[in-house]
Structure 1
Amino acid sequence: MTIIMEKGGGTFHGIKLLLCENPLPPIDEAVAAAGAELAQSNYYTEAYSAPLRRLISEQLGISERLIHINAGSELILRQLFDRFGRQVHLLTPTYVLFPEIAGRYTETRLSPEKGFAYDLANLAIPTGTTLAVIVNPNNPNGGTFDMAPLPDLLCRHPETLFLIDEAFIGLAGESAVHLVPKYPNLLVTRTLSKAHSLAGFRVGYGIFPEAVADDLNSHNDAYPLARPSQAAAMATLQHEDKIKARASQLHAWTEELAAQLRSMGVSTFPTETYFFLADFSPYDASGLADRLRDRNILIKPLNDPALGPGYMRITTALPEDNRRFVDALREIMAGV
């Protein structure tokens, strides 16, 4: 399954330029909070992660009943697709998991000629669509959508559930969370793996209509998080000012890296996050990735046939690792 590569590099210990992992470690407060809970790990957390659920409710201004917490957002997404994903509509290119787990899917292609930007007011939902998915900011290009047309889409297609995957909302973009209580066909998922640097702690949550939230809460383990994970999540959410500052730093490194690639003749596309798409044509992205791995640098080609073999998704690493990547890439491209 291609989603395995989406998770990073497992035990790979070189430079990782994959999308899923933030190159910055958890904030100090999260590490301290998790450490303080280790000695209590013989005890479960509170049922349904009640303290974390309460904190999310307070921060978002959403009823606790609408919140479902689980061990990473992928598990939540898989369950939503299992329940509602008989006929899915995607804006592509998109998160690699979604085409894998959809029963069937149609797609609206985002155009590289427009920098992968798209006006949702123009989105046509095919008849029979059970689940329409919008990733904001979008994965894999890092751009955001203007969400102003969403209420009209929800009203025009009451029989279609709309899933807004906000995995990267801590980096950029306008959230749709506040609309969930108003629309029974709106689902929003989030994770603390990205902007919040907690991928290894496995913390995801969703904001859903009561019926969906009740169903997921009643059909999952009532104790989904380890005590250190819950503590790290709460500590991190209580320091969103630090997360926002780090997001700005990550984006600055990303823009610098993209500029270096453009100076080498590589086409890059606009992003508001810490990752972006690049077109290395006429070079083959798979071949470049293989040669980079030989140099202990892990990256992956996009492998989207509609875009061609030159596309690569790149996430920023730390500046010194970015320099090593650029130097290695320059040597490889010169020798191909």
Structure 2
Amino acid sequence: MSDIIASGPVPTSVVQRMKEYHPPLGDRSGLRLDFNENTVSCSPRVLEVLGKISGAQLTVYPERGSAEAVVASHLGLAPEQVLLTNGVDEAIHVLCQTYLEQDTEMLLPVPTYSMYAVYASATPATLVEVLAEDGFEFPVEAILRRIRPATRVIAIANPNSPTGKAVKREDILRIIDAAPQAMVLVDEAYFHFHGETVLDLVGRVPNVIVARTFSKAYGLANMRLGMLAAGEEAMHWLRRVISPYSVNGLALACLPAAMDDKDYLNNYVNEVLASREQLAAALTDLGVPYWPSQANFLLTRIGPKHSAFAAAMRARGVLTRDRSSDPGCEGCVRITLGTQAQTASAIEAMKAVLNEIGWNGDQA
């Protein structure tokens, strides 16, 4: 070629305006209290399954069907009502691609999980954000006022991240009833630490869709496993959109073992719940404001020294998550809960760091 092309093809206008997400990964050595992961390990039964995977098994394309039947059985659903996904991120992406188009809207209470807005922005639809009330209370009345015929998706994280706040079942039901033209996603990623669900509505209410993850309590974040549960009509369209091989075979092979090990799951969840009380008591003693949580983390308000706090905690080998850029979260840092021993270590580091950065309660 005699001429050099200065620039390549231009992406679509939708991609150009799409929100970007840059997870603060990099070096994560130390006590990982930043991403709400399981802080210990997956079930040992999962490791046993991995050890038995043969080379021949790696040569075939993965099939979801048998694993979806196992999950459905555990949850009291029909296999046709369960769709396994490459993490809940893919579940959100598929939902947005299925229902959002030009001249439609997605309603999103904020602050909340970032990927709802990212994947909504990958469609031509309009994202309508509704700010939480004081104390991060769920803005049910404001959401009800914003529902229009154009509303096609409403995303509700229950419990919510980064706040840990739970949504009352009656508020979810009011929204479902007020928006029959919209799919109401109830994202129950932190279900195991909360214990309340609307999974019983699946198959009975056509505009309800529930998401779950196997990244948190089950400790399978690296395997990227999530799921959607919905009525068969909605599933028909969701399965049309999703890639047939997006969930890898190793994850599918390990999932039944993870779900069967109830003792492991219960023990880990109980540790986290005890840690939640432990950290809450310590924060109270230290005078650090925080919000009560129904998830495996607590959101604290450090104030103007939030960056210095997170950096000093990292220097002491404890990773936390600065959430100051989220709506209404100025000065906030989120701390994941692991075992009680891990939480004790984090508390000791926090005491030293607060003194080191010259923090006092008036600054929050």
TM-score in terms of structure 1 length: 0.88
Hey, what does 1:28 align to over in structure 2? Answer: 44
Hey, what does 1:102 align to over in structure 2? Answer: 120
- Asked if 2 retains the 8 angstrom alpha-carbon contact of 1:253 and 1:316, the reply is yes
Q: Post-superposition shift, 1:311?
A: 0.9
In structure 2, distance between residues paired with 1:332 and 1:149:
40
Hey, what does 1:52 align to over in structure 2? Answer: 67
- Identify which of 165, 190, 215 aligns with 2:237: 215
**Number of equivalences:** 330
- Asked if 2 retains the 8 angstrom alpha-carbon contact of 1:60 and 1:178, the reply is no
Hey, what does 2:6 align to over in structure 1? Answer: none
In structure 2, distance between residues paired with 1:122 and 1:21:
32
**Helix, strand or coil at the partner of 1:130:** strand
**Helix, strand or coil at the partner of 2:144:** coil
In structure 1, distance between residues paired with 2:132 and 2:54:
46
Matched, 1:87 2:105: yes
More displaced stretch, 298-307 vs 265-274: 298-307
**Helix, strand or coil at the partner of 1:184:** coil
In structure 2, distance between residues paired with 1:149 and 1:261:
30
Cα RMSD of the aligned pairs, angstroms, is 2.5
Matched, 1:284 2:305: yes
Q: Post-superposition shift, 1:305?
A: 5.9
C-alpha offsets along residues 259-299 of structure 1, whole Å, 9 cap, x if unaligned? 21221110111112220111113x42122112322333322
- Asked if 2 retains the 8 angstrom alpha-carbon contact of 1:38 and 1:228, the reply is no
In structure 2, distance between residues paired with 1:263 and 1:316:
18
Hey, what does 2:360 align to over in structure 1? Answer: none
In structure 2, distance between residues paired with 1:96 and 1:293:
23
More displaced stretch, 257-266 vs 197-206: 257-266
Q: Post-superposition shift, 1:18?
A: 1.2
**Change in 2 beyond 3 A, CA 1:38/1:22:** farther
Structure 1 alignment gaps of length 5 or more: none
Q: Post-superposition shift, 1:178?
A: 2.0
In structure 2, distance between residues paired with 1:317 and 1:247:
9
Matched, 1:18 2:34: yes
- Identify which of 181, 189, 194 aligns with 1:159: 181
**Helix, strand or coil at the partner of 1:20:** coil
The 5 Å alignment of 1:61-140 reads 61-85=76-100, 86-103=104-121, 104-113=126-135, 116-118=136-138, 120=140, 123-126=143-146, 127=148, 128-140=150-162
**Change in 2 beyond 3 A, CA 1:199/1:87:** same
- Asked if 1 retains the 8 angstrom alpha-carbon contact of 2:144 and 2:178, the reply is no
Matched, 1:316 2:334: no
Counterpart AA for 1:298: L
Q: Post-superposition shift, 1:34?
A: 2.4
- Asked if 2 retains the 8 angstrom alpha-carbon contact of 1:146 and 1:174, the reply is no
Q: Which has the larger radius of gyration?
A: 2
C-alpha offsets along residues 168-213 of structure 1, whole Å, 9 cap, x if unaligned? 1122132222212122211211110011111111111111233432
Counterpart AA for 1:232: C
**Change in 2 beyond 3 A, CA 1:236/1:319:** same
Hey, what does 1:303 align to over in structure 2? Answer: 324
In structure 1, distance between residues paired with 2:87 and 2:106:
22
TM-score in terms of structure 2 length: 0.81
Hey, what does 1:180 align to over in structure 2? Answer: 202
**Helix, strand or coil at the partner of 2:352:** helix
**Helix, strand or coil at the partner of 1:33:** helix
In structure 2, distance between residues paired with 1:238 and 1:285:
41
Counterpart AA for 1:32: E
In structure 2, distance between residues paired with 1:303 and 1:333:
18
The 5 Å alignment of 1:125-274 reads 125-126=145-146, 127=148, 128-274=150-296
Q: Post-superposition shift, 1:251?
A: 1.4
In structure 2, distance between residues paired with 1:12 and 1:19:
10
- Identify which of 352, 355, 359 aligns with 1:331: 352
In structure 2, distance between residues paired with 1:174 and 1:308:
26
Report sequence identity in percent.
22
Q: Post-superposition shift, 1:3?
A: 4.0
In structure 2, distance between residues paired with 1:129 and 1:219:
20
